[in-house]
């Protein structure tokens, strides 16, 4: 099964209306067995690519996941990255900013956790929250201590520009960025929230805040559409992944990550003649 990740990519300068993007796609596998086999194949390829990334030590990979609640960010990260060496991969989840973080610019707290060369960094939510939830709930913006001149509508365009500039800078310095929006329907979210209530082992996942945020669904869809339109670039693209089917979503995400790593054309460092002679001398000593 060949998955065309580019079918889900937001092209630079595209105007995104999420109402025109599917939340469910045709099943990529005919059975659960076929799905598990394909996902495992992707996981093994990712493991191989991560070793190359670490050994070459020339690039970093930053994966960002954004979505409405219950869209499956945690599950996608857990399943897709299950074969990756934890020493070469870190996951960061960003919740409501702390008092200290509010004393800094909106990019400060996330830039502290950018991946080093040779490693994969995963942001479960990110600085994009500052043009999503903060845009939907303007009271949060007022708590950020911005100058009065930054409190009008232009603040969002300024933040888009700051984000694009940051991502351009990171790309120029070896960090490849892949941004995934898991596109969930409101109806599928309703079903998943009910499942969290009905299944005792999922009760801990349920939050009353999820219900409160559903009232702002249309505002969130508009905010996401504007953010994706303004910040998807050729070097740091957004992918809108249909998320109503978790299995499909995980396969698409894994293909997106594989394509990003393949685009780096990684290889193991070449050992020069002097180093080979040194290794052979050491080998002779070891086999005595």
> What DSSP string describes 165-223?
HHHHHHHHTTEEEEEEEEE--HHHHHHHHHHHHHSGGGGGG--HHHHHHHTTHHHHHHH
Quote the number of domains for the chain: 1
CATH value at residue 127: 3.40.50.300
Strand partners, 88: none
The pLDDT, as a whole number, for residue 167 is: 98
The CA-atom distances, in angstroms, between 217 and each of 59, 223, 232 are 37, 10, 22
Question: For residues 221 and 189, is the Cβ–Cβ distance under 8 A?
Answer: no
- Digit-coded pLDDT (tens) for 65-79: 999 999 999 999 999
Residue 153 pLDDT > 90, yes or no?
no
Check if the beta carbon of residue 78 is closer than 8 Å to that of residue 143: no
Question: What letter does residue 268 receive in the DSSP assignment?
Answer: P
233: domain range?
A: 5-286
Tokens standing for 192? 């998943």
In this prediction, residue 32 has a pLDDT band, given cuts at 50, 70 and 90, of very high
Residue 61: pLDDT over 80: yes
- Using a 10 angstrom Cβ sphere, with 0-12 exposed, 13-18 middle and 19 or more buried, the burial of residue 30 is exposed
What's the CA gap between 184 and 188, in Å, rounded? 7
- The pLDDT of residue 133 is 94
pTM: 0.92
Query: Where are the extended beta strands (E) located within the chain?
Result: 9-10, 60-67, 89-93, 120-124, 175-183, 238-242
Q: What is the mean pLDDT of residues 166-183?
A: 98
Strand order of the β-sheet with 9-10 is 9-10, 238-242, 175-183, 60-67, 120-124, 89-93
Q: Per-residue pLDDT tens for 95-151?
A: 888 888 888 999 999 999 999 999 999 999 999 999 999 999 988 888 887 876 555
Q: How large is the average pLDDT for residues 272-281?
A: 84
* Cα–Cα distance, 111 to 115 (Å, whole number): 9
> What is the pLDDT confidence band of residue 287, given thresholds at 50, 70 and 90?
confident
Burial class (CB in 10 A: 0-12, 13-18, 19+), 181: buried
């Amino acid at each position: 099964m060949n998955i065309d990740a580019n079918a889900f990519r937001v092209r630079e300068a595209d105007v995104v209306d999420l109402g025109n993007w599917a939340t469910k796609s045709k099943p990529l596998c005919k059975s659960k067995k076929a799905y598990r086999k394909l996902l495992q194949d992707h996981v093994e390829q990712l493991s191989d690519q991560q070793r190359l990334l670490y050994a070459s030590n020339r690039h970093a990979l930053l994966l960002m996941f954004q979505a409405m609640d219950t869209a499956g960010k945690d599950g996608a990260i857990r399943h897709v990255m299950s074969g990756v060496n934890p020493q070469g991969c870190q996951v960061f989840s960003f919740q409501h900013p702390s008092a200290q973080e509010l004393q800094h610019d909106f990019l400060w707290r996330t830039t502290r956790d950018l991946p080093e060369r040779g490693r994969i960094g995963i942001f479960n939510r990110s600085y994009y929250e500052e043009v999503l939830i903060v845009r939907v709930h303007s009271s949060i913006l007022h708590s950020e201590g911005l100058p009065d001149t930054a409190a009008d509508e232009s603040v969002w365009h300024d933040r888009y520009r700051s984000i694009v500039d940051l991502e351009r800078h990171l790309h120029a310095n070896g960090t490849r960025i892949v941004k995934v929006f898991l596109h969930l329907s409101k109806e599928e979210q309703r079903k998943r929230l009910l499942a969290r209530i009905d299944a005792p082992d999922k009760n801990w996942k349920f939050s009353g805040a999820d219900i409160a945020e559903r009232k702002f669904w249309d505002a969130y869809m508009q905010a996401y559409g504007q953010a994706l339109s303004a910040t998807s670039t050729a070097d740091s693209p957004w992918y809108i992944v249909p998320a109503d089917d978790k299995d499909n979503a995980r396969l698409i995400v894994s293909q997106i990550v594989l394509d990003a790593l393949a685009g780096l054309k990684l290889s193991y460092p070449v050992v020069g003649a002097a180093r080979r002679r040194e290794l052979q001398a050491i080998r002779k000593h070891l086999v005595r």
